[in-house]
Structure 1
C-alpha cells in the first residue's frame, strides 16, 4: 500500500480534452495555435514529476518540524527553501504569465491544474508562493510604469515573494475598520506606512532574499469605510539612496501563530513602522486594486479544497483495498477470496459508500474548477469584447461557489477518509489526520465561506438582476437537453433531473428576490444554503456531462466504466443533498431567525 501522493493525470486529461474540449478552442487563439493535448499533457506530467519528487516528500516532515521564529526572523522547515529554488528555476511561477511580461504564456486552465497538484502534495509549502500569480496580476493591472519595470520581473519570476496584508487585530473580515496609516514622504516620492497586521501568510520566511508586502492603509484625507483604503507596495528590504546598500525598511515580524494545521507555513503578526511604501493605483481605490489579487487567491483556495479531497480519496482508497477485516455481506463475482474469509473493507457497504462519495465529489469538482480556469482564458483571449465580458461575468459568479463549496467538501472528505482508516487515521504516520487539520483553514481565509455565500447571492445574483445566473443556467439546461435526448435511459433520466434542478434554482431565486423586498435579512439568512444549492447543481452538471461522454467511449475501457458507475451513484445518492438545501432555503423564506442566547450574557 502506498500513501504517497500521485497526481491524477488521467482524470486531468479527461477533463481538459473531453469534458471541456479545451484544445479545440486553443487552436483559435493565435498565441496557442501550436498548443495541443499532447503538449498540455507533457506540461502536466512534468509538473506532476516535480511535485511528487520535490514537494510531496516534505509534507509530513514539515508538519512535524514546523516553522521557527528566532531573533525576529522566520525559518522554514528543512528542504523548503531548496524546493522553492527548484520551483523557480524550473519556471513554474511564470506558467500562465503573458510572454510580454516574461512568462510562458500558457492557459490559466493549466495553472489551475498545477495549483491542485501543489495543494494536494503539500498545502503548507504552497502557502508562501501561492500569492505570486495574484500579485503579478495586480501590479500588471494597477502598478505604475516604474513598478512594472523595477518590481514586477522579480515578483513574477518568483525571485521575490509577496504577501497580502489586509487583516488587523480589530478588523477581521470587516475591512472598513482598518487603521493602518500612510503619510507622505516627499524626499523619497513615497509614503510612510504605520500599523499592525495579523494572520499574514508568509509574512516572513527564508525562501527568498526579499518579501514584497501589498498593504492596505489609509491616507491622511481618506474617507471612512472601505472607500478610504489605498494599496501600497512595501518591501522588507530597500536600497539606500545615499550608500547604495540594502537596508531594512521598518517591516517587522512580531511572531508566528501556533496553529491547528499548516504548521510548516508561517502565519505572521506584522508591524509596519515608518516603512516606505509606494502607492498602487489611485488613492482611496486600493480595495479595487486588491480585488484582482483576492479573486485569483479565491480560485486557488477552491483548488486547495479539490487537492485535499483528492489526497483523502486516494489514501482512503488504497487503505480500504488492503485492510482486511470482517466478512463481506456480498462480494463482486471477480473477487478471489474464499467464502467466510475476512475481506478488504472496501467491500463493506459503509466503506463503499464513503469511497464513492469521495470519488464523486473530487472528480465532479475537478471538472467545475477547470471549467472556471477555461472561462478565465476566454475572458482574457477571446477576440470579441462581448464574449470576453460574458466569460468574465460567468467566472466571477462561479468563483465564490467554488471557494466555499470545494473547501467545505475538502474538509468533509478528509474527515470521511479518516473514518475509513479507523484508529489508524488518528495517527500521524498515515497522513490523513494532517489533511483534516490542514484543510480546515481553507474555509476561513480569503473571505470566510459565509462571506462567499453573501457575495454570491447578494452581489452576484440579486445584484445584477440574475443576469449571470441565467447565463449559467443556460449552459446547464443546454447539457440537460443533450442528455435528455439520449437513447440511454439512465442518461435521459439524468438530463431530466438536471433540467428540474435548474428550474428549482431559478424558482427559489425568484422567491428570495421577491421576499427580500419586505425582509432585508432574507438573502443573508439563506446565503449559505443557496451557495451549497448551486454547488450541488454544478456537480450534477459535471456528472451529467461526464456520463454522456463515458457512454460514447469504449465499453471495455476501465476508466470510462468507472466514470459510468460513479455517475450513476451520484444521481442515486449524494444529489439528495440538493433537495435538503432547497428545503432549508424554503424554510428560511418562511421564517426569520430568532435572537437566542441572551440568558448566557451577564
Structure 2
C-alpha cells in the first residue's frame, strides 16, 4: 500500500529558518496574530487529516471509476462527502480567506504548505475546495458588497462551492472568441446562454449550492477579449433572506472520462438562459477571472510538489526494502541474500534528483507565497510594487516549471520500482496519471512560457528579470565563498546575457520568442532553484544536526548534477527559431 508522512520538519525549516516567517509576521500588524507555534499546529492538524482521512480515498476513488454521472447529477466517490464535511467543519476551506467573511486569514506562505499535503494524498479531493477558494478571491476582489455578503460566508463554511467557467468547445486559450451570451433583464440580472467545457467541480453532491463564475458577452460587446464580462450564476437561485430558491437553468450535460484525477468531476455545463448577475464592470470580466486564475496557477505548481513528495517517499521506502545484487564496493548486508538497491549509484541518482526537486520547489512555493503576502498586507508602497512585479514574473514559473520538473521527478521515482512501478497496487502509475493534467490545465505550460517571455520579459525589456537577479546577487553577497556562491553568480551572468539576447532577437524576428519560450522558462526556473538552494544552504550550514548538514550535500549535488541543464537550454535559445519555422505546414501532415 502507498505511504505518506507529511514532511513537517522540512516545512518548519523552510518556513522559519529559511524565510524567517515569525519575524515577517510579527513585523506586520495584519499578521501579528500568528506565531510559529500556531502555524506548526495548523500544519500538524492538516498532516493528520491528509494521512488519516483522504489518503486511502485516493486509490479507492480511482479504482471505482471516480465521479459518476446520471441524468445531470454527479455522485462523488464513496467517502468524499464525509471527508469534505470534516474538511469544512475544520475550517480548512477558509484557511487563507478574509476573517470578515468567516475565513481564518492565514498568510499564503503558510497555506501553500497545507495545500501541499492535500495534493500529496488526494488531488481529486483537493480540486473541490480549490475552485471554491479561487472563486471567493474573485468575488472578494471584484463583486459588490451585497454579492460578497451573499456568497462568501457560505463558501467558507463549505455549504456552497464555486467554479470558474471559461473554456468552450471552440475556445480554449483564445477566450476572445467565446460564444456564451448574456442578455440583460429589466431587474438588472442577465440570461446566460452557452456551453462551457472542462469545468472542474461543475456538478457534485458535496454542497447544497454551486456558484458558477462565468465569462460571457453582452449584446454589442467589443470584439475579442475586450468584450468579456464576468457573471455569478448559481445552481439554485438565492432568495433575499439567503435561503435557496428555485433551480436555475444550468446543469451538467456530461462528465469527461479522463486519464487521471478521476474522483474530480470535470463537467460539460449547459447554460440555457440561466439567471446570472454581473460581477464588476461590463467588459472587464477577464481581469476579474484572472484574479482567480493566477491563484489556481500557483496551486498547480503546489500540485506538482505534492505529487513529487508522495512519489519520493514511496520510492525511497521501496528502494530501502528491495534487495537486488551487491554493492560495487563489496557486500553491505552479508546476512541477507542481496543488498538494498540503495547501494547502487543509479538508484541514488534518481532519488537525489527527486529530493532536490522537492526541497527547491517547496522553498520556491513559500517564497512566492511570501511575495503574495507582501502585496496583500504590506503598507510599504515600494515593497508592494516589487512584490507585485516578482509575482507577475514568477507565476508562470510556479505553474509550469514546478509541474514540468515534478512530472520528471515522479517518472524517476517510478523507475526506482522497476516493473512494480508499472503495477497499480504500488500507487506510482496513478500518481503519474493524476499529475499529468497539472501541465495542461489553467493554461498549458507552453502558454505559461510564452507569457513569461512575452509579457513578463520582452514587454518590459527584461526589467522584471533584472530586478529579480539583483535580489539574488544581493543575497549571494552575504554568503561565504563556496562553489554554490560562485554558481549563483555565474548563473545570474548567463541569464542576464540570455535575457538581453531574447529581447533583441524579438525585435527583428516575430517567431523567435514563441520558439524558445519553454527553454527560457526552464532557464529562469533553474535560476530560481539555485537561488532557493543558496537560501537553504545559508540557513542550514550553521546547524550541526545531520538533517541540516545533509542539505548542504544536496545543494552541492544540485549544482553539480542538475544545474548543468542550463547550458543546454541556453544553446537551444541561441540557436533561434529558424530551424523550427523553416519547414512548410504541410510537412507535418505529409505521409512519411
Q: 2:525 aligns with which of 532, 535, 545?
A: 535
- Structure 2 stretches of 5 or more lacking a match? none
What corresponds to 1:520 in structure 2? 510
1:582 aligns with 2:570: yes
- 1:194 Cα deviation from its structure 2 partner: 0.2
What corresponds to 2:432 in structure 1? 436
What corresponds to 1:500 in structure 2? 490
Q: Deviations over 1:103-147 (max 9, x none)?
A: 212211111111111111100111111122221111111101210
1:342 aligns with 2:332: no
Contact 2:237-2:245 within 8 A present in 1 as well: yes
CA distance in 2, matches of 1:595, 1:171: 27
What corresponds to 2:349 in structure 1? 353
1:589–1:474 CA distance, 2 compared to 1 (3 A): farther
- 1:214 Cα deviation from its structure 2 partner: 0.4
CA distance in 2, matches of 1:351, 1:175: 45
1:245–1:520 CA distance, 2 compared to 1 (3 A): closer
What corresponds to 1:378 in structure 2? 374
- 1:505 Cα deviation from its structure 2 partner: 0.7
Q: Deviations over 1:374-407 (max 9, x none)?
A: 1111111112122112112111211111100111
CA distance in 2, matches of 1:357, 1:151: 44
What corresponds to 2:60 in structure 1? 61
What corresponds to 1:184 in structure 2? 184
| Superposition map of 1:289-304 within 5 A | 289-304=288-303
Q: Which ranges of 4 or more aligned residues in structure 1 deviate by more than 4 Å?
A: 239-242, 589-592
- 1:467 Cα deviation from its structure 2 partner: 2.2
Contact 1:94-1:156 within 8 A present in 2 as well: yes
CA distance in 2, matches of 1:601, 1:573: 40
1:157–1:474 CA distance, 2 compared to 1 (3 A): farther
Give the 3-state SS of the residue equivalent to 1:566 in structure 2.
Answer: helix
Number of aligned residue pairs: 588
| Superposition map of 1:23-172 within 5 A | 23-65=22-64, 66-172=66-172
Give the 3-state SS of the residue equivalent to 1:97 in structure 2.
Answer: coil
1:407 aligns with 2:397: no
CA distance in 2, matches of 1:330, 1:197: 61
Give the 3-state SS of the residue equivalent to 1:78 in structure 2.
Answer: coil
- 1:339 Cα deviation from its structure 2 partner: 8.9
Contact 1:515-1:589 within 8 A present in 2 as well: no
Contact 1:481-1:499 within 8 A present in 2 as well: no
| Superposition map of 1:157-236 within 5 A | 157-186=157-186, 188-236=187-235
- 1:438 Cα deviation from its structure 2 partner: 0.5
CA distance in 1, matches of 2:61, 2:340: 32
What corresponds to 1:489 in structure 2? none
Q: Deviations over 1:33-81 (max 9, x none)?
A: 2422222111111111111111112110011111111121000100001
Contact 1:3-1:318 within 8 A present in 2 as well: no
Contact 1:44-1:114 within 8 A present in 2 as well: yes
The range that moved more, 162-171 or 24-33, is 24-33
Give the 3-state SS of the residue equivalent to 2:63 in structure 1.
Answer: helix
CA distance in 1, matches of 2:86, 2:558: 40
TM-score (norm 2): 0.96
1:34–1:130 CA distance, 2 compared to 1 (3 A): closer
Contact 1:257-1:266 within 8 A present in 2 as well: yes
- 1:152 Cα deviation from its structure 2 partner: 1.7
Give the 3-state SS of the residue equivalent to 1:93 in structure 2.
Answer: coil
Give the 3-state SS of the residue equivalent to 2:562 in structure 1.
Answer: coil
Give the 3-state SS of the residue equivalent to 1:269 in structure 2.
Answer: strand
Contact 2:511-2:577 within 8 A present in 1 as well: no
Contact 2:154-2:160 within 8 A present in 1 as well: yes
1:562 aligns with 2:550: yes
Q: Deviations over 1:274-303 (max 9, x none)?
A: 100000011011001111000111011110
- Structure 1 stretches of 5 or more lacking a match? 487-491
TM-score (norm 1): 0.95
The range that moved more, 2-11 or 123-132, is 2-11
The range that moved more, 473-482 or 355-364, is 473-482
Q: Deviations over 1:427-471 (max 9, x none)?
A: 111111001100001000000001100111100112223222122
- 1:589 Cα deviation from its structure 2 partner: 6.2
Q: Deviations over 1:342-384 (max 9, x none)?
A: 1111111110100000000111110011100011111111121
Contact 1:482-1:495 within 8 A present in 2 as well: no
Contact 1:308-1:413 within 8 A present in 2 as well: no
What corresponds to 2:458 in structure 1? 462
1:386–1:423 CA distance, 2 compared to 1 (3 A): same
